[in-house]
Structure 1
């Protein structure tokens, strides 16, 4: 086990920053990590057996990449100490630290495995002052609503669907990640106005897109209702979508068609009538849905379902 621990310590030190690692002798050492490189930022899902990780003043003097770290804990509990009273974090809480300050992380203090999705971003990439960042690091932040929920959704979608993105997508994804991380920090400080205007604009667009996805089932979802829900004018909403090379109505229609296509191809929903699929996707009138679906996919919804279910039945079973 000592060789595995040494190898893991070296890996963490090379990818992130030099650390000390102390493993529980009563647990078999296990650790797993996958790194997604987004420009200068890293996103890395991981799983750990109970162990302690320390960043000491000696290790900081040895090397300091000046990275800001955020972990979204998805399983287990994590104890944390960084100059303040000890804190304990549970599933779907955000925990932060800074490579420039000493800290200690106790993974699985209650003897359970820990899983997390983590982010490392250079401090210089965040569009906030160093003083503002320092005020946030180490403090508990919510992920349940607003920008916290957006960051959670971004991270979980990214690591759950790695094949959906290519190397060419990395710069765009890095911008989204930095915007959301900065917005979570600024929101914790009640200082959203301190973010650059372009960052606030991109974050608002992400919030609007998430809102639209959540409300697709509502047939009354229109640019006017979306704008009203976000306290902006309809004309400003249209300006936000100019970079997406589509109108707001066109984006809503495309998402509804994609949702309908997913429902039609789902074997578990094969008994749901096509007209109810249309309703669940947000189409109030079945003929309008059928015309739009045929224009988008070259066949009727009924034919698409038949083909998708036949193709699924022909695939070999896993295992």
Structure 2
């Protein structure tokens, strides 16, 4: 991994201020509060393997808070973070769930208000990956955010070992090998989370299958401007009320999910060179929006800027594949 920043290179009186500025500007806008007024130390290292951005943070005791305002500034709604605790003890809270992680434990944090912190020195490896890679296999992240995935699980142990080796070898991998190994890493994370969720109260298998079939139908018909909850229910062969209940079990609303996926796909295509020839209006229509004004309004509500501004800011961004 390459070192992006270390407080060892600066005067102690400037350490935390510079650390906070670096985290805010180069990693993610968050509010940081040190446990002690003096003596803060931190090292920030990073590596990229395929679509995965891995960041190893070694730091003194600190509390990190993601607020609605900082999340809007971040804007990375299409990704989420898997945090692997390597040293110390970390607590986190999100979606009305609070948990503590010890070395070897894993936790998933989404782009919603959250708090992470510790009362001792810690080292954590953050793996930023496309959210669709987890939600496509596991459903809403609200099922497992801030849920401790313990080091005692076989899958968790494999994830920790795999990613520690991956960051060690990152600089020596070919692009093809990077993509292959990143896919393996994502599969291991999915398996580890699934193993943890298996310990939760079992749900109706038939209901889960209907829910997954509904998600697949949405993905295949996002460009259909007539797709709505009633048509979706008819397509999967259940009543609208029953389908709404299945979505509520996954902390989702049918209509909201359809519009969210349309916006996410539109955002991906706005940065994909393969769709650069399409105007914003054409791209909007292909993603299921009946008018460009409707698309622009919803996009700005979700991403804080217009589709055109988003395209200009992210022009040339690589396509994420998982």
TM-score by length of 1: 0.53
Could you say which residue in structure 2 is the equivalent of 1:33?
44
Tell me which of 171, 183, 194 is aligned to 1:175: 183
Query: CA, structure 1 residues 106+179, in 2 after alignment: closer, same or farther (shift >3 Å)?
Result: same
CA RMSD of aligned residues (A): 2.9
Could you say which residue in structure 2 is the equivalent of 1:145?
153
**Structure 1 position 61 matched with structure 2 position 72:** yes
Could you say which residue in structure 2 is the equivalent of 1:97?
109
Tell me which of 114, 117, 122 is aligned to 2:125: 117
Could you say which residue in structure 2 is the equivalent of 1:17?
28
Could you say which residue in structure 2 is the equivalent of 1:52?
63
**Structure 1 position 126 matched with structure 2 position 138:** no
More contact order relative to length (CA 8 Å, sep ≥ 6) = 2
SS in 1 for 2:125: strand
Distance in 2, Cα, partners of 1:122 & 1:15: 19
SS in 1 for 2:129: strand
Describe the superposition over 1:262-295 as per-residue Cα deviations: whole angstroms up to 9, x where unpaired: xxxxxxxxxxxxxxxxxxxxxxxxxxxxxxxxxx
- 8 Å Cα contact 1:127-1:182 kept in structure 2: no
Per the TM alignment, residue 87 of structure 1 is displaced from its structure 2 partner at its CA by: 2.7
Could you say which residue in structure 2 is the equivalent of 1:228?
none
Distance in 2, Cα, partners of 1:17 & 1:134: 21
TM-score by length of 2: 0.52
Distance in 2, Cα, partners of 1:189 & 1:31: 34
Count of paired positions: 191
Q: Which of the pair has more CA radius of gyration?
A: 1
Distance in 2, Cα, partners of 1:51 & 1:140: 20
Matches within 5 A, 1:1-319: 3-66=14-77, 67-84=79-96, 86-99=98-111, 101-107=112-118, 109=119, 112-126=120-134, 128=136, 131-190=139-198
- 8 Å Cα contact 1:68-1:96 kept in structure 2: yes
Distance in 2, Cα, partners of 1:91 & 1:9: 24
Distance in 2, Cα, partners of 1:173 & 1:20: 33
SS in 2 for 1:44: strand
- 8 Å Cα contact 1:72-1:116 kept in structure 2: yes
Query: CA, structure 1 residues 118+62, in 2 after alignment: closer, same or farther (shift >3 Å)?
Result: closer
Describe the superposition over 1:37-77 as per-residue Cα deviations: whole angstroms up to 9, x where unpaired: 12322122221111111100111223330222122112111
Distance in 1, Cα, partners of 2:64 & 2:181: 29
Give the gaps of 5 or more residues in structure 2. Answer: 1-11, 213-322
Describe the superposition over 1:74-116 as per-residue Cα deviations: whole angstroms up to 9, x where unpaired: 21111222243543222221122112x1111113x1xx21012
- 8 Å Cα contact 1:143-1:151 kept in structure 2: no
